[in-house]
Amino acid sequence: MNDDVFALWVYLARTPLLWLTVTILVYCACDRVSAALHRTPLANPVLMSMVLVGLMVRGTGTPYADYFDGAQFIHFLLGPATVALGIPLYQNRQLVLRAIVPMGCALLAGSVTAMVSAVLIARFLGASPGIVASIAPKSVTAAVAMGISGRLGGDPALTAVLVILTGILGAIVVTPLMNVLRVTDMRARGFAAGLAAHGIGTARAFQVDLLAGTFAGIAMGLNALLTAVILPFLL
């Protein structure tokens, strides 16, 4: 029996569909756990999925390239998923237009602060220019951040790790922080989450409130655009 299971595993491990299926099933299970825990910030499904899949890849001795052969299909969907955020934006366009001025001010302040603080801290700690370029776009959604990093001489793989860590940390702290600061406007809460924690923060905002998710998606998209324009001059 054990030999049959091992033979089946060896066969499946050679097909890209295996790790695609594993990734989806693990995320679905972690999302169920998060829902059962009433979406508490610490029970972040992305964080739990990342840990579990990482342990499985490590435990089975699977090279990352083999894992990515299957997971690349999910990676491809990052683009269409980002574009799909335009649907709630269109549905709430009147609210967006009424808040366009404070949104612009918050976007400029938040985006510049994220970039400048990352660059200054990295340089203060003696990081090389390549590392600085990898760290600077950490608050931008992964697909855009990796492109920016690569063009500026950074390491896209390192940027991807930093983007994910930034998003997870932001998604965990955004709700408790907003509660402590007594920010009750869902537009402001969502915009802050999307600006600081990109796609993962936006997903968290949608879990809390549809309006918050809409404004988080707006912030994520605008921050990516602004960062791509400003960061080359900053560096």
Tens digits of residue pLDDT in 141-176: 877 888 888 888 888 888 888 888 888 888 888 888
Q: Are residues 112 and 185 in the same domain?
A: yes
- Of 76, 105, 140, which residue is a domain's last? 76
Which has the minimum average pLDDT: 9-18, 21-30, 87-96, 170-179?
9-18
- Mean pLDDT for the stretch of residues 210-233: 86
Residue 1 pLDDT greater than 60, yes or no: no
Q: Does residue 103 share a domain with residue 30?
A: no
Same domain? For 96 and 128 the reply is: yes
Q: In the predicted model, is pLDDT for residue 12 greater than 70?
A: no
Residues 42 and 67 in one domain: yes
Q: Dump pLDDT digits (tens) for 30-56.
A: 999 988 888 887 788 888 898 899 898
Question: What is the sign, positive or negative, of the torsion defined by CA atoms of 224, 229, 230, 232?
Answer: positive
What is the C-alpha to C-alpha distance for residues 18 and 140, in angstroms, rounded to an integer? 30
Same domain, 88 and 110: yes
Task: Lowest mean pLDDT of 81-95, 118-132, 169-183, 201-215, name the range.
Answer: 81-95
Range of the domain at 3: 1-76
pLDDT of 208: 82
- Domain check: are 37 and 12 in the same one? yes
Task: Specify whether 97 is located in the same domain as 186.
Answer: yes
Highest mean pLDDT among 43-47, 78-82, 89-93: 43-47
CA angle in degrees (0–180, nearest 5) for 23-88-85: 40
Count of structural domains, the chain: 2
- Between 71 and 50, the more confident residue is 50
Least confident of 22-36, 56-70, 73-87: 73-87
The last residue of one of the domains, among 30, 61, 76, is 76
38 and 54 inside one domain:
yes
Residues 149 and 184 in one domain: yes
End-of-domain residue from the set 16, 45, 76: 76
One domain, residues 71 and 84: no
Q: Is the pLDDT of residue 9 over 70?
A: no
What average pLDDT does the chain have? Answer: 84
* 20 & 63 share domain: yes
Percent of the chain with pLDDT over 70: 93
Do 49 and 92 belong to one domain? Answer: no
- pLDDT for the residue 140: 86
Which range among 11-25, 103-117, 118-132, 191-205 shows the weakest confidence by mean pLDDT? 11-25
Interval 71-94 mean pLDDT: 76
